[in-house]
Chains A and B, each alone.
Chain A
Amino acid sequence: MIEKNNSQPLVRMSGISKAFPGVQANDCVDLELHPGEVLALLGENGAGKSTLMNILCGLYRPDAGEIELRGRKVSIEGPKDSQALGIGMVHQNFKLVDSMTVLENIILGMKNQPLVLDMKKVRAEVLQLSKRYNLKVEPDASIWQLSVGEQQRVEILKLLYRKAEILILDEPTAVLTPQESDELAKVIRLMKTEGKSAIFITHKMEEVMNFSDRVMVLRKGRLVAGLSTTSTSPSQLARLMVGRELLFSIDKKPFSPGKTILSLDRVCAKDDRGLDALKEVSLNIRSGEILGIAGVAGNGQKELAEVITGLRKLKSGSLRLDKEDMSQSSPIAMIKAGVAHIPQDRSSAGSVGDLSVASNLAMKEYRKPPLSTGIFIIPQRITSLAKKLIERFKIMTPGPDTHLKFLSGGNIQKTILAREIGACKSLLVAVYPSRGLDIGATESVRRQLVDQRDQGFGVLFVSEDIDELIQVADTIAVLFEGRVMAVMPSKEAAPERLGLLMAGVGA
């Protein structure tokens, strides 16, 4: 299923293999990129997309395989080499220095700079680039002041300023509003007309169809297909990606909400920097209801979740759980009241990589029998609970004693989910639970959320994926700059309207 293009390729990677302990991330992968072409790299999590691109930009070195650029064999030993060859990458987690300005970030790390920088010249060049590609950004703003979308523009400008001919974008739209995504698509098209090429990593079909000329599908480290976009369809791609048919819709019981479980009344809270993060937020969650929180990352979602789980103090307003005032409650009080939390930051807040899978699974239940009696814990029971949960939640691990950090992102998330669902007695707070997960894992996460709802618990579900929200949630609230812009039944929520509300339009 590989379609040939006979022109001289710009990049040819052949026979690329790369192993990490226990994982063959890339297994003999071949890739071609032609001038002026946009190539989509599609695959589930752990399929090896990022690894392959990290090899191309010199962050990893392949165990085997060769890279050719314009027909010449090259050896890319580090990012310096790839930069010299005109290859640039925008990583999923931006590589910007928060406290420095846009201009400083753009020239940071560039070779052959004069001892005294001519910032005027840099500024003029950057402004010209930003105008030409319609990448609006304030050159003297510090990075921490910028929205995620703006930061991405800085990353792209950085590459353009370095005269990159080949741009690699790792899940570029994961953090953008639909409008911002459209803007990005325009930028990519413009670059294409100038003969630049791009490779973007994604697991969203829609983007593949909208952005790309050609698509390569990776599965478990191997190339399974290379197709021209016009000759394929989302369902074919999905099949190739997972290797089986997928259900795109989720079945759930009809929505019949019960009594109010959580009620927030004009809640205000500050973020870590002391700025107002939540402004007079009033929300209710009833039993048997999934309240979806839509919004671009960084508009108060994290703070909202932390307020509800007792991790963040309310500045004013009140929080009631089952009619009881819990405005000043500690995290442990909220846990005891049956509030479970799947935090945004699953590897550093939600789990402990240096402890075993079993310990991670026991981190809430250890407080009570059967895992503990009095002051003592019973290791055998922790292990047997872990074995049970590993089986029930299909966590792929060599065993309960394996350190969690050796598991894939999806399996780490399943571990957290397994623990939190066990701890959920009234409300489940799930913040981006499916972010970065592959289709299979996403499906099972969504299924679990719906199951909690069907059992009569309340669910607060924060997501950036509008389609996912409409599908999973019963009610959707849109957060913008810490304010609730609107609350509506998900049946009545149109993606376009949500997108506008997320961008602060139409309050």
Chain B
Amino acid sequence: MRIVFEKRKSRARGILFAVPALSFMISMLLSGIVLLIAGANPFETFASMASGAFGSSNGFSETLVKTIPLALTGLAVALAFKLRFWNIGAEGQLVLGGIASSWVALFLGPSLPEPLVLPLCIAAGFAAGALWAGIPGLLKTRLSVDETLVTLMLNYVAILFAEYLYYGPWRDPKGYGFPGSAPFIEAAWLPRIFGRAHAGIWFIPVIALLFWVLLRRTRWGFELSIIGASPRAARYQGIAVQRNILLAVLLSGAIAGLAGACEVTGISHRLQQGLNLGYGFTAIIIAWMSQLNPLAIPFVALLMGGILVGGDQVQMMMGLPSAMGTVMQGLILFPMLAGSLFTEYRIRVLSGKAKKSKVACVEGEA
């Protein structure tokens, strides 16, 4: 008897749902084992996590607060990943978006007409994210510099630049030494809709839908799907490969920058520590778990947001180490990646017995 992997002839729709669901169950199982080792009752812990993240209005609003940047950065990296541009710099693009948005709010805001302030803050975040992604984008498309390293390292440049600003020149003189800028004027605040959850949430469905329409219904999206599948074939079809990759990367960075703008105008109302919470990295997990499907990303982001908030809850209620939430994220990713094998392949068990040679197959037909 032999077990072989066989490439699937076509991908059944059911598989696309069944595999992630099963992977998630396996990761719950693995998490349960880790929790047992840590001396906690897994069922109690999961229940506590779930109620912490979704059970109360306060918890749920915190889950949404995390879902917004997770979903936006998830969409951002998914767009770049579609073109096999490995943008792992969403974190840095988010931070730079936050910086630019803060700059508008702090220095232009007071002298601008009020209704213009917030849109300009958002636009600045959008543009700055694009700019930050544009650096690896240009390096990659013009000079073939590997984007993985450049995007990764630019994260730290952006994070340290933000630190420099709120510890240094932008530090609030009235802030009692607290590292952070002065608070924004109220015209630069994104309205709150539910607890701390803010109006930035509406960007999620809008961008997810636009993303989907772009890929499935537009000429540009069609070109992007060709480039993503085979840059060489795209070139032979007369598609300007490098230019289109650059454009998509700029857009990817812009969406991440938008997430940063939402963070400062929606949550902190100033530039301060805590802008770089690792959303841009978790976004990579979200994008893969969603199999780069823009319509799945918001829901996966909500789940991830729930795990983050639930993880904090568990820390407080069950006395578990705070790293447990991160451990669980990791444990979700692994079965997910393993599971993606089964959307492409299936397992077949062969019997080892040889068929007897049939007489029929040696008879000529001519």
Q: Which A residues have a C-beta under 8 Å from some C-beta of B?
A: 1-2, 14-15, 17, 21-22, 27-30, 62-66, 222-225, 236, 239-240, 243, 309-311, 330-332, 334-336, 341, 343, 348-355, 359, 362-364, 366-367, 372, 375-377, 379, 398, 402-403, 406
Contacts and interface: CB of A to CB of B under 8 A. Distances in A.
B355 interface: yes
B217 A376 contact: yes
A269 B220 CA distance: 32
Contacts of A332: 238-240
Contacts of A353: 229-230
8 contacts: A1-B366, A239-B366, A240-B366, A311-B235, A351-B233, A352-B229, A363-B237, A376-B219
A224 to B, nearest CB: 5
A2 to B, nearest CB: 6
B356 A15 contact: yes
Given A311-B236, A403-B10, 5 more contacts: A30-B357, A225-B364, A335-B238, A352-B230, A398-B10
Interface stretch (B1-9, B55-63, B295-303): B1-9
Interface in B284-323: none
Contact of B10 (A62, A330, A376, A402): A402
Interface in B244-265: none
B161 interface: no
Contacts of A406: 9-10
Instruction: Pick the most buried of A236, A310, A354: most chain B CB atoms within 10 A of its CB.
Output: A354
A341 B226 contact: no
Interface in B205-252: 216-222, 225-226, 229-230, 232-233, 235-240
Contacts of A62: 354
B37 to A, nearest CB: 41
Nearest to A241: B366
Interface residues of B, number: 38
B215 to A, nearest CB: 11
B354 A15 contact: yes
B143 interface: no
A372 B217 CA distance: 9
A334 B219 CA distance: 19
Instruction: Pick the most buried of B6, B216, B218, B355: most chain A CB atoms within 10 A of its CB.
Output: B355
Contacts of B355: 15, 17, 28, 64-65
Given A21-B6, A335-B238, A379-B216, A65 B233 contact: no
A376 to B, nearest CB: 5
Nearest to A339: B238
B233 A352 contact: yes
Instruction: Pick the most buried of B9, B232, B361, B363: most chain A CB atoms within 10 A of its CB.
Output: B361
B362 A223 contact: yes
A400 B220 CA distance: 21
A359 B216 CA distance: 11
B358 interface: yes
Contacts of A224: 364-366
A343 B230 CA distance: 15
Given A17-B355, A332-B238, A376-B218, A350 B233 contact: yes
A1 B225 CA distance: 51
A331 B238 contact: yes
Contacts of B366: 1, 224-225, 236, 239-240
B222 A243 contact: no
B350 interface: yes
B230 A66 contact: no
A304 B6 CA distance: 40
Nearest to A368: B219
Contact of A2 (B218, B240, B353, B362): B362
A403 B344 CA distance: 12
Given A21-B8, A355-B225, A349 B233 contact: yes
Contacts of B237: 331, 335, 363-364
Given A224-B365, A348-B233, A366 B222 contact: yes
Closest 6 CB pairs of A and B: A1-B364, A15-B357, A332-B238, A64-B355, A28-B361, A335-B238
Instruction: Pick the most buried of A28, A29, A30, A352: most chain B CB atoms within 10 A of its CB.
Output: A352
Contacts of B232: 348-349
